[in-house]
Homo-oligomer: A and B are copies of this chain.
Amino acid sequence: MNTTGKMFKVTSFGSSHGKALGAIVDGCPANLELSEEDIQKELNKRRPGTSQLTTSRKESDKIEILSGIFEGKTDGTPIAGVVYNTNQKSKDYTSIKDTPRPGHGDFCWMEKYGTYDYRGGGRGSARTTIAHVIGGAIAKKLLATQGIKIISHVVQIGDIMAHSTEVDTLEENISKNSVKCGDLEAAEAMEELILKKKAEGDSVGGIVETIAIGVPAGLGDPIFGKLDGELAKALMEINAVKGVEIGFGFDVSLASASEINDEFYYNEDKEILTKTNSSGGILGGISNGMPIVSRIAVKPTPSISKLQETINLKTEENTTIEIKGRHDPCICPRITAVSESATAILLADHMIRSGFIHPNNLKLNLE
């Protein structure tokens, strides 16, 4: 239930206002150099309070590794990573105890479990994506040994769309703006829109694209473990995501096959490539060696201070709610760290499952 992966497994625990959150990463082969800094660097990317665009909740999100590292390297045993919560303000949330917030899972959790740690959304909070990022940080380091790199960037906020950017300049551009957009002009307009929504006590959605470069052909189990199927799952499971598309995505509905079939060719080095990449690097559920490109539709953060209608589960009467607390007016910038992580975890799993990375001992790969 709280575990993903078959050979490279991440188990998530913890909630927004409990003692701690964290993850157990199981199945990382031995002999990968790994330090707390490697994980901290990635956690810092999703950390709140780093710009005006995010919630003002201040959390250092400091990682502590409890197991799995020996003399600076993984040793093949489970890696337990913990982040203690330090800045919970539980009093902010008592008002919402019996009144489920529209757009949130509160009501669903109550129905499912008959109880619910409502403080800050409990385990329904996007704060649980800390576990994704812990797992993702380790997965990224592992993938890097095989020349695989993963980049997420914001391509749309509301009706503002970014122009496409060369992959080479993407990372640099992203680092230059709080929106994590590769198109610097669009980034400014996006930032403005987000701040406008924030001022209105509202929030706004967007689209985040993720590109995985260097993935070999042959990943993905056909039929019920297709690479695109599992990628869709990994991405849809990120809080606030309502749609996933690969390659040409929903636009395929408008196309003819003659327009979007990616034609194969040998380049001068006798490598097999496709002229276009409508398929987004996956055909028949299996990677074809081209970049894997996905996009997710991210809904506007449902926590808004505007008055909304809802119900009181105790009195069984209709009522209204205004949500206090510190919230992100747009979650897209911070979600990039999570979509990178979800993609990395999945690819690490498939690289092992498909025999590209040795399941136990990374040295057997490198030699």
A301 partner, pick from B224, B257, B270, B299, beta carbons under 8 A: B257
A181-218 vs B, CB cutoff 8 Å, 1 = contact: the mask equals: 00000000000000001000011111100000000011
List A222-271 residues whose CB lies under 8 Å from chain B.
222-226, 228-237, 239, 241-258, 260-266, 270
Q: List 11 A-B contacts (CB under 8 A).
A: A1-B224, A14-B80, A102-B264, A103-B283, A108-B284, A112-B361, A113-B360, A203-B256, A261-B308, A266-B317, A272-B311
Cα-based distance from A279 to B7 in the complex (angstroms): 28
Known: A108-B284, A113-B75. A14 touches B66 (CB 8 A): yes
Residue contact B66 to A253, C-beta cutoff 8 Å: no
Residue in B68, B104, B115, B270 whose beta carbon sits within 8 Å of that of A316 in the complex: B270
Number of identical protomers? 4
A46 interfacial contact with B, CB 8 Å: no
Is A224 a contact of B309 with CB atoms below 8 Å? no
Interface residues of A in 271-287 (CB under 8 A from B): 272, 274-275, 279-280, 283-287
Closest approach, in angstroms, between the C-beta of A165 and any C-beta of chain B? Answer: 19
Please tell me which stretch of A23-31, A51-59, A140-148 contacts chain B, meaning at least 4 of its Cβ atoms lie within 8 angstroms of it. A23-31
Cα separation A249 to B289 with both chains bound (whole Å): 29
Across-interface contacts of A317 in B (CB, < 8 A): 266
> A13 with B66: in contact, given A205-B255, A229-B234, A243-B250 (CB under 8 Å)?
yes
Q: Is the CB of A3 within 8 A of B9?
A: yes
Partner of A297, one of B124, B197, B253, B361: B253
- Interface pair A107/B9, CB less than 8 Å apart: no
Closest to A262 in B: B102
Selected contact of A112 from candidates B68, B158, B262, B286, CB within 8 Å: B286
> Counting CB contacts under 8 A, is A291 at the interface?
no
The residue among A21, A71, A252, A265 with the most chain B CB atoms within 10 A of its own CB is A252
A318 to B151, CA, bound (A): 32
- Which stretch in A37-45, A171-179, A350-358 binds the other chain? A350-358
Q: How far is the CA of A78 from the CA of B23 in the complex (A)?
A: 11
Which residues does chain B contribute within 8 Å of A76, judged by CB atoms?
A: 109, 112-113, 115
Given the contacts A236-B228, A242-B249, A306-B258, A80 and B311 also touching, CB distance less than 8 Å: no
- Report the separation of the CA atoms of residues A151 and B123 in the bound assembly, to the nearest whole angstrom: 33
A196 to chain B, nearest CB (A): 10
